[in-house]
Amino acid sequence: MIERRSFIAAASALGIASAVGTATPGHAETALRTSGDASGARPLGTVNTDAAFAALNSAFLISNGNQRYYKESLNKTAKDYFWRQALDIQAVQDVHDSAPRAETRDLIGRLLDTFLQQNQGGGGLYDWNWNDYNDDLLWAGLAFARGHRITGNGTYLTQARYAFDRVYNRGWDSALGGGIWWSVEKRDKNALSNSPATILGCLIYEANGDRGYLDKARAVYDWVWAKLLDRSTGGVYEHMRADGGLSTGQTVYSAGAFVSAAQAIYRNQGGGSVFNDARRTVDWVIRERTTNGIMTNGQREGTWQSEFARGMGEFVRENNLWGQYWDFMKRNADAAWNARRTDLNLTWNRWDAQTPRDDTRAVEAIGAVIMQAVTPATRP
């Protein structure tokens, strides 16, 4: 267990303002989660959320002047690559959303500002045209849209709009009945180049009221529903090739992105069928992608549970479905914590086996943090 004083020391060393005062050491897991936000809403997060987040920052967060970024792995000091860096930032945003506080809001702003500096193209600070992959731009756009919601910085919303517009304009066409190509090579239309576009379009609409973004988001959602969703089970196929053939893979992260997309549409437009789409996919993961009720996978290069933890958290929280799903969420949050490597308190994507003491990657460690953040300590 990381004691609370360790979090404060790490925060101070990284230049993150601490607003937590003093408390009895040894209660790191609860001390930072008792105040809620300005509205008085009850904070989310298991008792291990802050310890897991502190461990992530201690292991991977780099402070260089005003810059903040996550390095690629324990042994690699270079910044995490574009899409992974965006997912790292979104994990911080999940922690902040679970229990908003000044130091995480400040960190999010610094991470986003650093992202712009480190990933700019030939056109300047806000140019991502060099990146040919539409899902990369969407993950980054989501980080900036959420960053705008958290900080109120209008530059972040402008960059989120840039990401959506760039992806839609170069990626959406009538081939295969619509949908967004995964990359400029136009070899396939991928679940992860479409469901995140739905989420991003909805977030932009919620921020600025521009109905065009919601309409495009719905069109993208409808394409995924028609082409990639197995409506009999809730599984989501990875992609449709240019020749119309479907991949056979159905992953937890593609399911999670779809759940978030369905919930974003449901939040803005309602519709029982959309709600049922999200619930069917949640139930599919629980039924078909768990081992003894635990989400687990040996993938080391990317995420596995992260997008689903976030999507399920949104779906359950916004629809007050704790009675149906809290037990599953808590079981997985506990499994992730118990599978950590206890020297650093980091957990990989296998939540049914101990995390090895090797060159753990930042992006494989964020899923466990997100699972802690979205799960209430006790059933609401």
pLDDT digits (tens, 9 = 90+) for 296-332: 998 888 899 999 999 999 999 999 999 999 999 999 9
**What is the structure's pLDDT at 41?**
53
Token code pair at residue 53: 């987040």
**What is the structure's pLDDT at 24?**
27
Burial of 21 (0-12, 13-18, 19+ CB in 10 A): exposed
Token code pair at residue 301: 């290069």
> For the segment 99-115, what is each residue's pLDDT rounded down to a tens digit?
999 999 999 999 999 99
Q: Is the predicted pLDDT of residue 20 greater than 60, yes or no? A: no
Specify the length of the chain in residues.
380
Least reliable range by pLDDT among 13-17, 77-81, 126-130, 162-166: 13-17
pTM confidence score? 0.90
Q: Is the predicted pLDDT of residue 205 greater than 70, yes or no? A: yes
Mean pLDDT to the nearest integer, 4-31: 33
| CB atoms near residue 8 (< 10 Å) | 22
Q: What contacts 259, CB < 8 A, 6 or more positions away?
A: 278, 281, 282, 308, 311, 312, 314, 315
**What is the structure's pLDDT at 302?**
87
Nearest to 224 by CA among 264, 254, 267: 254
Q: Is the predicted pLDDT of residue 361 greater than 60, yes or no? A: yes
> For the segment 138-193, what is each residue's pLDDT rounded down to a tens digit?
999 999 999 999 999 999 999 999 999 999 999 999 999 999 999 999 999 999 99
**What is the structure's pLDDT at 33?**
54
Average pLDDT over the chain, rounded to an integer: 91
> For the segment 29-65, what is each residue's pLDDT rounded down to a tens digit?
333 454 444 334 567 999 999 999 999 999 999 999 9
